[in-house]
Chains A and B, each alone.
Chain A
Amino acid sequence: MTIASSSPPSRLPVGGAEGTRTTPRTRRAKAREGGGDGRLAAVFLAPALLGFLVFLLWPTLRGVYLSFTRFNLLTPAEWVGLDNYDRMVHDPIFWDSLRVTVVYVVINIGVQTVSALAIAVLLQRLTQSAVLRGIVLTPYLMSNVVAGIVWLWVLDTQLGIGNEIIAGLGLDRIPFLNDETWAIPTIALINVWRHVGYTALLLFAGLQAIPNDMYEAARVDGAGEWRMFWRITLPLLRPVLAVVLIMTVIGSFQVFDTVAVTTNGGPANATNVLQFYIYGSAFGRFQFGYASAMSVALLVVLSAITVLQYRITRAGRTDLG
């Protein structure tokens, strides 16, 4: 039996047996069906695509353009070439705010990841209680601003209940949010408190994918919990951990609201994280061109860190199966 086909061999379906080849008539029918699916898909994708274009792509492109202008929002933008970038490179406050942000990210992500991993492993190995998982997630249900205000009151040097307890123990009060040494670690830990439960649940979901027989086999071979963690849990969790790290690092670099409600960037710029500096330049000083240039710089830094993290952690590959 001869099968009529006008298609060149390269256009045959990969791995397709002769019997699966389609006739021109059925191909046309399938193409019609495919076209129908495509249109339907386009309709369903349209709102998301519209959102992406309007709220992401266009503002990004516009932001890049504005970074080359002097712009106060109320009068037309004036093209100034690389002036904003030149100013940024020579602006000590920009570099200091970048340093402050990096210190914040290191403390925030370091403590948060280790704590979340510990909570996730404990949740997986010790209990399956959904109630406990719910409790772990509770701080995440609170908005960042509310969490910031609550901790501002708790940690206030004179009146905060936290410092009352410290003073009650006979220790000196600690100016958690009013001292340049304490302020950034305190803000980092406030955000750890809020986000650690959510991060733990993401990791917990990753742990669920690790087959139980691996632990059973290891136990038969005489491995303890500690050894199993290092030899089974951590390596097999790596892709999930990597994605969680990429997401949390990006989020951490964008810290703003907690700073805005607790320290306002002070004392003496000790908590002037990059997003706060960008906000102040734009909405305080109406220097939208310069603020855009710093935003572009932040975008570049975050993109570079993300690519680097993705490569180092081999986030796209799994060691399972």
Chain B
Amino acid sequence: MRIRTVMAFTGALTLSLVSGCAQGGAAGSGAGSVTYWLWDANQLPAYQACAKGFEKENPGLDVKITQLGWADYWTKLTASFIAGTEPDVFTDHIQKFGQFADLNVLEPLDDLGIDDSAYQTGLGANWIGRDGHRYGAPKDWDTVALFYDKKLTEAAGLTADQLNSLSWNPRDGGTFEKAIARLTVDRNGNRGDEPGFDKHHVKVYGLATGGAGDSDGQTTWSPFTASAGWNYTDKVRWGDTYAYDSKTFQSVIDWYFGLAEKGYLAPYTDYTDGANPANAQVASGRAAAAFDGAWMISTYYGTKGLDVGTAVTPTGPSGKRATMMNGLADSVTKNARNKGGAKKWVTYLASNACQKTVGGYGIVFPATPDGTAAAVAAYRKKGIDVSAFTEPVTDKRHARTFSFPVTDYAADVYALMRPAMQDVFANGAPVSGLTKTNDQINFILGQ
């Protein structure tokens, strides 16, 4: 009797667990709903507003938005692909695109009729896979500029105009190196360009460190390597070989990390992803300026007690300034439960109507020119001048924009380049060692 009771209880428990699991797997995927994931909490209200517009136009369809922090986002997305619980639509990053294409988890979007010319240059073409199919609808873009603490630049005697017209070269660093030397102050009050400067005891660095830059150097070395005329790969998209072995690249890296040895750039030891990123170094007064992306505008301008200015990246030996222009997209998953609804939602997200709505929130630059204009106006309303971010996109004569490298085996490239670049910056390893890493990368790409 007792055994029967125990067995019945165990059976009931097992059944409840099994049914509980089944319920968990099917949650939030009703026939009329579209699940959508994004990582930026600042953008959530804008996309909630878009969802309302979409639901009004498409009665019977509702959008369930999930926001997850950047790091959790990719881990959870990966796990969801494995478990078969992936969202119908998700915000995609070009750095991950190659890997998702390799894994064959994206739904082709050729039938959406996306017109590349309706978006800022290059944003649409980046989402065409090696197989010629489209896997993402352009969503927004960002560029990199120099954020600076106005109080410190004024104390150093540097004007906004001077900071906006800096140039550099790998021989003597040009006016850019002079400016950050001027902004650097040691514990005795000597500036970096003054006699008696103690580079071992720096109180305020001219330039904050953003780490070693991994394989892309988006907010660290890429404005310099690109303005020296260097490209990551042999082709604009889906290149077959990387060029980290190039003399140009290695000489720029040598000069850039050499700024830390001179005491002008905060050393690698001062950088911590979680605790002390570049903006925290500026906010704490430990650095006078930092290269950072447009997605950080609200963070810098929202820092209490910090009077911020922005300047375009310096002009390089190629005669142009350069910045990475990274565009995000919305992608539909191959196993989306509501593929029809998902495609409708992506079409709406890529529309001028939605992008103008998002632009109106002044938190990101949408991909359509009208969306971008709405964002610029919204920033202006908040008293923020974003021309340092928009000029490189519009002024093609003086500026060059470039994308993240889009290739196969992107995760392997990252895994190999990350420690290699850290070795150069943190341990002072010779830049020539990057040639060996480049050979390893090209070997993988050649498989």
Chain A positions near chain B (C-beta within 8 angstroms) = 36, 39-40, 43-44, 46-47, 72-75, 149, 152-153, 156-160, 175, 177-180, 261, 264-269, 272, 280, 283-286
Contact = CB atoms under 8 A, between A and B. Distances in A.
Contacts of A153: 275
B408 to A, nearest CB: 12
A157 B270 contact: yes
Interface in B264-315: 266, 268-276, 280-281, 284, 286
27 contacts: A36-B3, A40-B3, A43-B7, A44-B6, A47-B10, A72-B102, A73-B82, A74-B82, A74-B104, A74-B105, A156-B272, A156-B275, A157-B270, A157-B272, A158-B276, A158-B286, A159-B275, A178-B268, A178-B270, A180-B427, A261-B274, A264-B273, A268-B423, A272-B419, A283-B75, A284-B411, A286-B99
A55 to B, nearest CB: 13
B3 A39 contact: yes
B240 interface: no
B3 A267 contact: no
Interface string B1-30: 011001100100000000000000000000
A175 B2 contact: no
A153 B276 CA distance: 9
Nearest to B205: A158
Interface in B167-197: none
Contacts of B281: 158
Contacts of A73: 81-82
B155 interface: no
B3 A149 contact: no
B107 to A, nearest CB: 14
A268 B411 contact: no
A43 B269 CA distance: 57
Contacts of B3: 36, 39-40, 43
B64 interface: no
Contacts of B104: 74-75
B415 A157 contact: no
Contacts of A267: 212, 268, 419, 422-423, 426-427
Given A74-B103, A159-B275, 10 more contacts: A40-B6, A43-B3, A75-B104, A152-B275, A157-B270, A178-B271, A180-B426, A267-B423, A268-B422, A280-B415
A271 to B, nearest CB: 11
A152 B103 contact: no
Interface string B364-405: 000000000000000000000000000000000000000000
Query: Chain A binding site: helix, strand, loop or mixed by DSSP?
Result: loop
A43 to B, nearest CB: 5
A43 B419 contact: no
Contacts of B284: 158-159
Contacts of B93: none
Given A153-B275, A267-B422, A268-B426, A286 B268 contact: no
Contacts of A269: 419, 422
A30 to B, nearest CB: 18
A268 B275 CA distance: 19
B370 to A, nearest CB: 38
A105 to B, nearest CB: 22
A7 to B, nearest CB: 29
Contacts of A149: 274
Contact of B272 (A177, A180, A268): A177
Nearest to A269: B419
A152 B274 contact: yes
A283 B78 contact: yes
Given A178-B272, A283-B78, A266 B419 contact: yes
Interface centre among B75, B82, B420 (most CB of A within 10 A): B82
B150 interface: no
B269 A179 contact: yes
Given A160-B275, A261-B274, A286-B411, A43 B426 contact: no
A152 B6 CA distance: 49
B154 interface: no
B412 A285 contact: yes
Nearest to B414: A284
The 3 closest A-B pairs by CB, nearest first: A175-B269, A268-B423, A267-B426
B418 interface: yes
For B10, B105, B276, B412, which residue has the most chain A Cβ atoms within 10 angstroms? B276
Nearest to B105: A74
Contacts of B275: 152-153, 156, 159-160
Given A74-B105, A178-B270, A268-B422, A156 B82 contact: no
B417 to A, nearest CB: 11
Nearest to A42: B3
Nearest to A44: B6
B10 A43 contact: yes
Interface string B92-106: 000000010011110
B426 A178 contact: yes
A2 to B, nearest CB: 39
A36 B2 CA distance: 11
A280 B276 CA distance: 23
A260 B95 CA distance: 21
A43 B273 contact: no
Nearest to B13: A47
Contacts of B426: 178-180, 266-268
A72 to B, nearest CB: 6
Contacts of A157: 269-270, 272, 276
Contacts of A178: 268-272, 426
B419 A159 contact: no
A313 B280 CA distance: 51
A119 B108 CA distance: 63
B411 A285 contact: yes
Nearest to A174: B269
Nearest to A282: B78
Contacts of A43: 3, 6-7, 10
Given A179-B426, A286-B99, A152 B419 contact: no
Interface in B397-447: 411-412, 414-415, 418-420, 422-423, 426-427, 429
Nearest to B411: A285
Contacts of A266: 418-419, 422, 426
Contacts of A46: 10
A266 B418 CA distance: 9
